[in-house]
Every structure is written in C-alpha cells, then in structure tokens.
Amino acid sequence: MKEFDKQHILHPYAPSTPLAEMELVTSASGVYLELDSGRKVIDGMSSWWSVIHGYNVPALNTAATQQLSKMSHVMFGGLTHEPAIKLAQTLLEITYESLEHIFFSDSGSVSVEVALKMAFQYWNSQGNKQKNKILAFRKGYHGDTFGAMSVCDPVTGMHSAFEDVLHKNIFAQAPACMFGQEWDEKYIEDFKTKLQENHTQIAAVILEPIVQGAGGMRIYSPELLKRVRELCTQYDVLLILDEIATGFGRTGKLFAYEHAGVAPDILCVGKALTGGYMSLAATLTTKKVMQGVEANGNVLMHGPTFMANPLACAVANASLELLLNSPWKERIQNIQTQLHEELRKCEELAIVKEVRILGAIGVVELNEEVDLNFMTPAFIREGVWVRPFLNLVYIMPPFVITKEELTHLTSAIFTVVKEYESYKANAKT
C-alpha cells in the first residue's frame, strides 16, 4: 500500500514522488496514532489542529452513527434539517452577540472565500464598485483556494507560484508587537498608513486574531487587534477574523478575538468545529452586512453541494457539547503552564532562536530551516508525531492530553532539536 501511495497519491506541499518514507496509520485512539509497524506515537499536531478531543471519541462516534441511521446528506437548497439548525443556534450563542447569520461550507478555505464574497458583495450591492481590494497582513495564511491565496503573505504564504494570476490585494507589515510586549503606536503605523491611503478601495481587512498560524506561528499583542478594529470602524471597512485555527479554545479563550474584546463583522471558523472528525466550516456575519449584501434584491452568491452536511453538523453538535461541558479552560491553562515549564529548556540550545507559548500552542523557532528527512524519523523514534515546517518545531496537542503524555512530547522535542543541532554542526564541519 505504501508503495502504491508513493507512486500515485499526492500529499500536501510534497513532490509527486516523496523523498521520505510515508508513515501508514492503521488506527487512532486518545492522543495516539498506531502505525503499521505496531508503534504508537503521541500526536502533537491534533491532525493539523482539529482533533481537540483526541481520536475515537465515544460521544462523537455515537453522534455519527445515530445520524447515519437517519440521513448522511441532503441538499441545503430549499431544505433544512435539525443538525444544522441546532449547530447554528449554538454558534450564535457562543460567538459575539452582533453575529446573527451563518453560512455553512465544507472547509476552512471555502469559509474564507465566502467571507471575501460577502465583503465584496456588501459594497457592490450598494453601488460601490471601487471597494475591490482586501487589506491583509504579511506572514498571514488563510487557505489554499484562489481567493484565500490572494490574502496570504505573497512571499511566505506558500503561493508565490500563483502571483501572476491572483487578485492583487494590499499587505501591511506583519504584527511586530508580540503577546505580552508593551504597546507602542509605532506598531500600527504601517497598517494605519495603508488604510488611510487606500480605504476607498478596501472592502475589508482580514487577519488571524492573536496567532498567525501557517505563516509563521507568530503570537502577537491583543492591543494590535484592538487598534485594527478601531481603524476599520473609523474608515468604514469591514473586519474579517479568521479563527479557523484559533477557534474553540486553542488560545485559552473560546475565540482568540476575546483576548482583545473586539467584534468582527465577519467570522470564519472550521478545523476543530467537528473535533477533527470530518470537514465542516462556517462563516458568521452581522445583520448589517447581510442587509448590505442583499441591497437591491441581491443574494449571497455561493452554495456548496455539501453545505451544512447533516452528518458533519451532527458531529459538530456533539463536539461542541463535549467541549462546552468540559473543564476546557482549566485544561488549556494546565497545558500552557506545562509548556512554559518544559519547552523553555529548549532555549539552552544554540540552534533555538525563541520559544513562544499561548494556550495549547507551543512553538520552538530555530535559527535555520528544519530538515524533515532528519526530524520526522527522529520524532517517531521518540514515540511522537510532530510535523515541523520552515524553521519551526511546534505542537498543538489535543486538549485531553495527560500531564505524562505532554511531558513525553516536550521531552521528545528537546531531544530531537538537540540531536538536530549536533547533526547540523557535524554537517558544516
């Protein structure tokens, strides 16, 4: 099977014939992945940040099988169903009170596409066709579809190959005031200037609140987000918050925008929405935005086949119930405290530039890019699954990880990074 995969199946951001051996997962339970070799490894990535409850969760399994016995899918055009209605009710209850409308889609990238469409249609429906640009931040990442790619960092956002065919947007300097750092107005000057000079063309600002994910795992000051909200209001520009990676408790707040106490005009959620069981996302917005979109008899022009898929919605309902009825705040605080205590040891290593932590996010930034051919097998030998990128070794473990399992994970990171430091030193000599 692995040989067939190697010859025929494409994997994310990888050559068609992979250079490294692919691991075959045969089952998963709790925080563990079982490989075909029989080895079990702790998943430090929560399967790209989505599996917050761990794997093979009885409550989620039950929700899926019960819904399967009723219907796995039905079109959402002209029809509705209880799982979608219940999910919408819950999302509106737990997000900012001004958010009143929800559009369900089948992936995070698509939820961003919908958000961008909302913003452009909001102005266009009211006769303002000049507002056809988005202001985004460098080091930002919002997905791999074309609209989403156009608001990712044009250099580090992994999409430079498409530069000539993407919609041209405007980019402000990446957030430079990190979480816990003293605020100075100089940190907002570039953004403010871009907004002042281009606000007649800017339909919306999009950013990842507090944590920039795949663009560099940067954790920035809530004060920046507050100032962005104030400036968007001042210049009459919509604010889109992409909480696909940060939503549902990851940063220690249910949503990262709560660190700054701001209200988005449009909110994107996904990833952990179903506890990692299947793909589902949502774009939430205000009555004001929807009235603008629908001015002059228009409607929002989007409608995926699997929109509000009942099976996904049912599992999402069970996942949110499990999260909200759990001591999730305490769990995240405990994870954050332990990451502070144990990952800081990595700062002893010369190859390490910085360690940063927020909630259930731990980042070890190196002074040079990682070599996956070295690190992937090294981590597996240590009994963990960690997938570094760029110069970052980071983890976002499931919220249910035990203290002992997390220590295993952090110890493995120190061990492998230390081995990597020696490996690189020997290579240079």
3-state SS class at 116: helix
Cα-Cα-Cα-Cα dihedral of 358, 361, 366, 371, to 10°?
A: -170
Place of tokens 């949502």: 282
Active site residue 242: yes
Cα gap 273→269, rounded to integer Å: 7
Amino acid at site 296:
N
Rounded to whole angstroms, the maximal C-alpha distance in the chain is 70
Backbone angles phi, psi at 280, to 5 degrees: -160, 140
How many helices (DSSP H) and strands (DSSP E) are in the chain? 13, 16
User: How many CA atoms lie less than 13 Å away from 205 in the CB half-sphere?
Assistant: 28
Marked catalytic residue, from 43, 106, 153, 242 = 242
Active site residue 106: no
Of 391, 369, 380, 371, nearest to 415 by C-alpha is 380
Provide the token pair at 329: 């705040």
Who's near 252: CB < 8 A, 6+ residues apart?
Answer: 329, 332, 333, 336, 358, 359, 360
Active site residue 32: no
Of 106, 107, 118, 97, nearest to 239 by C-alpha is 118
Provide the token pair at 347: 């700062």
Alpha-carbon Rg for the chain, nearest whole angstrom, is 22
Residues in the chain, how many?
429
Conformation bin of residue 155: beta by default, left when phi > 0, alpha when psi is -120 to 50: alpha
Cα gap 407→277, rounded to integer Å: 26
Marked catalytic residue, from 13, 129, 186, 428 = 13
Cα gap 124→117, rounded to integer Å: 10
Marked catalytic residue, from 122, 141, 220, 394 = 141
Backbone angles phi, psi at 266, to 5 degrees: -140, 135
Question: For the chain, first and last CA: distance in Å?
Answer: 40
Marked catalytic residue, from 153, 257, 271, 277 = 271
User: Catalytic residue positions?
Assistant: 13, 141, 242, 271
